[in-house]
Structure 1
Amino acid sequence: MHNQPTAPIGRPRGFDTDQALERAVLVFWAHGYEGASLDDLTAAMGITRTSMYRAFGNKEDLFRKALRRYTEGPASYVARALGQSTAREVATAFLHGAVRSTTRPDRPTGCLGVQGSLAAGESGRNARDILAAWREEGTAHLRNRFHRAVDEGDLPPGTDPGLLARYLMTVANGIAVQAAGGTTGDELQLVADMALRTWPPAGP
């Protein structure tokens, strides 16, 4: 009995999904969730709507994947900051990273996680909730890191880790909004340095 050749299962996508997702990140970053139309996304990704749905799901699914890629790429300074040795070094790396990420000349200004759906209407409610949860997760990571710093004596007794984390995130979010409005990286670096001057001294 002769073996029959096996037909391939499905057709190859014919495009680089990683590259397409990177391009989707830039569209969402520049235009926000509602401002990024399907035509904008598919044109930037170089694919048809059918290919987008097959590879990434609907627009909200694509947005979730794009946010994950953004977290692992342009916003990866957050994870690096959390790994610093002292609370002050964490805060410094976090704010300096925010300035660099939001003012790069080869990328959209601002932060995808901040501007992505601030002005979204009803159709963007889910995206707004996704980004609110994303920002809260970042604040929680900072809070946990500062709890550890208090326990280790790196921050003074009585320091409120949650308030400190909220303060730092508020400054970083403000930096992102200012960057999107055209404020330069040099100016925002001065803002970050000013915020760090009020940082609590190390514990005894």
Structure 2
Amino acid sequence: MAGRPREFDRDVALTRAQALFWERGYEGVSLTDLVAATGLASARLYAAFGSKEQLFREAVVRYEREEGGFADRALASEPDVRRALERMFHEAIDVYTRPSPRGCLVVTAATNCTEKHHTIQAWLAEHRRSRTESIIGRVRRAVRERQLSANTDVEALGQALSIFLNGLSVQSRDGVPPEQLHASIAVMLSGALPDSTPCR
């Protein structure tokens, strides 16, 4: 006898939970909130996702694969470093300034946590470090390909670019208009990449 089909769409439930975590942060979302958002009873929620923490982790992985995948795509597909960074920042702003939720889930979801949730905070910090390493790696490639000076401080520049990216998330949450954020990119890159060829 065939088993009973699930009575809910798991992906829809994950999407709703992700939006809630994105808007309120990990600790700002209760089990009651998740039940209301997903339409699942708590027992069904745990059966489907295991726990609130596991649901959050799955939501973050989904975010990085879909909404947050702009960084890896831009850094990997654009041969010119300035174009790669411009594309990454512009696409970040497009994601971060959507009507709701705003900002980056990985940046904003657990900047402050109580001690019992420090593992979530550390896990997200590792995700942010991984993105920083990707940016540093792209800068190192640009130096190797002579798009940037051999004297470039690769680590410092990569960190600065990562800080700017995370700052776009914070400014987006604060309601800075998208046009102002987009305009800041040229200013940032003119100082950060003075010896690269400006894009037209």
**Do Structure 1 and Structure 2 share a fold, with TM-score over 0.5?**
yes
Show structure 1 runs of 5+ residues with no match: 1-6
Aligned-residue offset at 1:123: 2.9
> Residue in 2 aligned with 1:60?
53
> Residue in 1 aligned with 2:196?
202
Instruction: Give the 4+ runs in structure 1 shifted more than 3 A.
Output: none
> What residue identity is the alignment partner of 2:149?
P
Q: Which has the larger radius of gyration?
A: 1
> What residue identity is the alignment partner of 1:96?
H
Show structure 2 runs of 5+ residues with no match: none
Aligned with residue 70 of structure 2, among 77, 95, 98: 77
> What residue identity is the alignment partner of 1:141?
S
Aligned-residue offset at 1:59: 1.0
SS of structure 1 residue aligned to 2:180:
helix
Aligned-residue offset at 1:55: 1.4
Aligned-residue offset at 1:91: 1.2
> Residue in 2 aligned with 1:4?
none
Aligned residues: 195
Aligned-residue offset at 1:40: 1.1
Whole-Å separation in 2 of the counterparts to 1:148 and 1:172: 19
Whole-Å separation in 2 of the counterparts to 1:45 and 1:162: 43
SS of structure 2 residue aligned to 1:101:
helix
Moved more, 135-144 or 36-45: 36-45
Q: 2:106 touches 2:124 (CA, 8 Å); kept in 1?
A: yes
Q: 1:34 touches 1:123 (CA, 8 Å); kept in 2?
A: no
Aligned-residue offset at 1:161: 2.1
> Residue in 2 aligned with 1:161?
154
Report 1:119-198 matches (<5 A): 119-198=112-191
2:93 is the counterpart of 1:99: yes
Identity of aligned residues (%): 36
SS of structure 2 residue aligned to 1:33:
coil
> Residue in 2 aligned with 1:12?
5
Aligned-residue offset at 1:191: 2.1
Q: Is the alpha carbon distance of 1:193 and 1:124 closer, same or farther for their aligned partners in structure 2, counting shifts above 3 Å?
A: farther
RMSD (CA atoms): 1.5
> What residue identity is the alignment partner of 2:89?
L
Whole-Å separation in 1 of the counterparts to 2:114 and 2:125: 15
Whole-Å separation in 2 of the counterparts to 1:160 and 1:55: 47
Whole-Å separation in 2 of the counterparts to 1:74 and 1:177: 17
TM-score normalised by structure 1 residue count: 0.90
